Amino acid sequence: LEMTESFTDMNSKEHAFWLHLFFAGLFALTFVYFAVAFSQRKIRGQIFNQEFMSQFNEDHQREFGCDAAVGGDPDNGNGYYSTRLSYKDWFIFNNWQRCHYNFLETFAPVVTLFAIGAINKPIFSAIGALVATVGRVLYSLGYIGSGPKGRVLGAILSDVGLLLGVIGAIWSLVEWKDSDFLSQ
């Protein structure tokens, strides 16, 4: 399939195909995000389990009238509950936290850039979304499995995907500015 160059050709079958591919890439990226978020919740429940949290029940009862909740909320890895974790549990939990938060920090800008790029450059945006998705999967698996050193390949691919998103968005906006669409 060949991509047309004009914004006015958005109704072409080729453009529709690449837009569908682009949205499939965004769906995959969103799916990976939710997989990481739900997995992070699972590890939180394993580390801040009922047995571990019971050591805080007396304090929690005194202050709030109920037992401390399994899962350790609102502790995010460096709070009151985490100070009593073993180093191993603290390290594992914080690797999951970093993986999860890094995803949160980059998700909105990445999606926005690819969406802008898809207006006039859906092929470029689809490729960028695919690279970013593969990068996020490798980043997550590497970080969770091997700690900070394991994230390098995924981080590089994610950054390449982000760079493609920036280039695609700028390219799309330049073509949009130069198109007849705005003068209609």
Top pLDDT among 6 and 127 is at 127
62 located within any domain:
no
pLDDT at 166: 96
pLDDT at 4 over 50: no
163 located within any domain:
yes
Measured at the CA of 30, the angle between CA 124 and CA 145, to 5 degrees, comes to 105
pLDDT tens figures, 101-128: 888 888 889 889 988 988 888 888 888 9
Mean pLDDT of 18-36: 77
The band of 178, judged by pLDDT with boundaries at 50, 70 and 90, is: low
d(CA 43, CA 115): 33
128 located within any domain:
yes
133 located within any domain:
yes
64 located within any domain:
no
How many domains does one find in the chain? 1
- Rounded to 5 degrees, φ, ψ at 38 are -70, -35
113 located within any domain:
yes
Number of H helices, E strands in the chain: 6, 0
How many Cβ atoms from other residues are within 10 Å of residue 180's Cβ? Answer: 9
The band of 5, judged by pLDDT with boundaries at 50, 70 and 90, is: very low
CATH code at 119?
1.20.120.550
Domain that holds residue 24: 16-46+94-174
pLDDT at 6 over 50: no
29 located within any domain:
yes
pLDDT at 7: 44
d(CA 61, CA 65): 4
41 located within any domain:
yes
pLDDT tens figures, 62-86: 999 999 999 988 888 889 999 999 9
Sign of torsion over alpha carbons 125, 131, 134, 135:
negative
pLDDT at 165 over 90: yes
